Amino acid sequence: MAIVPMKRLELYGLKRHKASYLAELQRLGLVELIKPAAEERWTTESGEAIGRELHHIDERLAEINRVLAVFERFAPQRPSFVEQFAGIKTVLTWEEQQNYLARQEEAVSLTDRVFNAEKEHTWLEQEKLRVEREIASLQPWAGLDLPAEDWKGSKRVALLLGSFDRDPRLLTEALASEQIAYYFRQIGADDHRQYYIFFCLRESPAEEVLRAKGFLPARPELTTGAVGERLAVLTAKKQELAASLAQIEDKLKTLAEERPLFQTLYDFWYNQRLQVEAKNQLLTGKAVFGLEGWVPAAQCTRVEQVITSLGLPHYIRFIDPQTEEEIPILLENKKVVTPFEKLVEAFSLPRQDEVDPSAAIAPFFFLCYGMALGDAGYGLVLSLICVVLMAKLTMGPGGRKMAWLFFASGLGAVFFGLLTSSIFGYSLYPGFFNVIEKPQLLLIVALGLGLVQLYTGTVISAWISIKNGDWAEAVLGKGVWLLFLTGLLLTAGGSQLGLEAYAQPTKYVTALTAGLLVIGNARGKKGFWAKLKAVPGGLLNIYGSVGFFSDVLSYSRLMALGLSGAVMGSIINLFAEMTWGAPVGWIFSIIIFLFGHGLNFGLNILGAYVHSSRLQYLEFFNTFFTGGGRPFAPLKLEQINIFLKKEREV
């Protein structure tokens, strides 16, 4: 259980060299800068100067981001199933990254080409939409073969153009009832209305009669020529525009091959921004600057060597942190424990006066997960999936930790499944016990595991007290508490263990420890009356045993999860066996087996993780761990779009 000890760094140098120092510290990635308090500042870096730098960088980032957005629009990347959750990033070697960074001037001309192509594409797209809208408006009039010049009619005959949404006989009957001579023809239709042309005598009230029945007079938006001629021109123009758009899209797809260049430049400018922002955390004078930061104690020598290798005048020193300082937290454990740091990070990092619980969690989470999943076949599949993902995907510290965590958890299920002879729901040999036949034994094992883990947490709490110099709390508080709990357990279940002969002494010891817990509540109180008043409050310590054993009972969820998974697995196997003997039943048996176990596997790996984590966070941590530590956040190079192959990050 290791919290990395930290040292406080102080570095002073010439003001004109500060950019070099910041760049080197960022490349090193081992120093978390401390923002100086207002009263400590000598002078501040000009806010306007930093603002101008940030504005220039933000413009470059926005420009590159726009280029990448254009590439994604016209040449989208196709993520794999895992990349849909982890994100797509470009993997480069260090040499490839440097080659891209050397092409910054070329990137400027490429940016102009991309923006010009996008602008032209936008104009062509708008023009194509305009043409399509005009075609759509003229399409219902496609059957009107009269040129626009003739739509006025003659001196005696008028032309009425319009649309109607019902049976045209309503119109013709209305005209006939008024004894109006007419001729009409349907010239087109759309989804809702039909379009007609009526020929009537000009002096007749035909238009009024038609309007009264719902006829809507309308004309195509055309000034010369026939509708068909205009449609032919527009269709040709649409095809021409579509061809031009295809050419522009091909051009942009070709330019999108430069995506890694712009991704590299985006990451470069993003890190430049971090570096400029870091200037706000410097102490600045007329000619010199100073910075303070946190460094892992084991890395102090390396930091000093790198700073010295710059060959610039400076003064550097490392000092121990003060007691009242808030020190950032960095965890460091052996490889077998490192994956379980993810569980701690997901909850909260420890404070400096606590211990790293990763090593304490590791064996218990391994067993809890194994018991909850409970099947060697499922555990093996889970571990193999993690191995394949780590082999096929570029992963970094966070991704690899999580993959190793599930790999180890899968081995826990293999371990427990082999003990109980449970392999994809089949019992192939006599195990220590059968989960389905003896669920009571599984419950006893789950509660026993919970009891051992909570005892371990109490022992860790005592050790923390000793570490902080509070021996009285360790012995008279936690030690007596464990004796009291043990006494209660032996009093209640000693006969089941063959300890009837020790029943009376056990009761005496339990009563004695209960009295010590009540009296122990007065520790630390000053004055006789203060101590006396504190004694009744000690009764709450005894009542705390109810909460302790309630926490132990929470571990029964492991039995419930393990039993439900085993029952579901056996039912799936039963269904598969029932269909095997039918004609082509083997096909359905395989489908039932794969689908059923796949569903059971998916549900159980999720449930096992959630409930095993819950037991660590609510029951185990409740005995000794509070958390609230601030994570160590050094100034470092951040890779947003690319990964260097040596990093292997997700």
Cα angle for residues 620, 626, 628 (degrees, 5° grid): 135
Does the domain made of 138-233 have the CATH classification 3.40.50.2300? no
Alpha helices in 581-641, H assignment, sequence order: 585-614
The pair of three-digit structure tokens given for residue 552, joined into one six-digit string: 């132990």
Rounded Cα distance between 624 and 636, Å, is 34
Bridge partners (DSSP) listed for residue 458: none
Bridge partners (DSSP) listed for residue 583: none
Residues 6+ apart with CB under 8 A from 160: 197, 198, 199, 200, 206, 207, 210, 215, 217
Tens of pLDDT, residues 364-397: 999 999 999 999 999 999 999 999 988 887 777 7
Mean pLDDT of 502-530: 68
Least Cα distance to 2 among 359, 361, 365, 466 occurs for 359
Domain ranges of the chain: 138-233, 355-438+556-625, 470-554
What phi and psi values does residue 91 have, to the nearest 5 degrees? -95, 125
The pair of three-digit structure tokens given for residue 586, joined into one six-digit string: 């083997």
Does residue 583 surpass a pLDDT of 90? no
The pair of three-digit structure tokens given for residue 352, joined into one six-digit string: 């400096």
Tens of pLDDT, residues 596-638: 999 999 999 999 999 999 999 999 999 999 889 999 999 999 8
Least Cα distance to 478 among 513, 448, 522 occurs for 513
State the amino acid at position 338 in one-letter form.
T
Max Cα–Cα distance, the chain, nearest Å: 129
Tens of pLDDT, residues 20-66: 999 999 999 999 999 877 655 555 456 778 888 999 999 999 999 99
Mapped onto helix, strand or coil, the DSSP state of residue 4 is coil
Tens of pLDDT, residues 542-560: 777 788 889 999 999 999 9
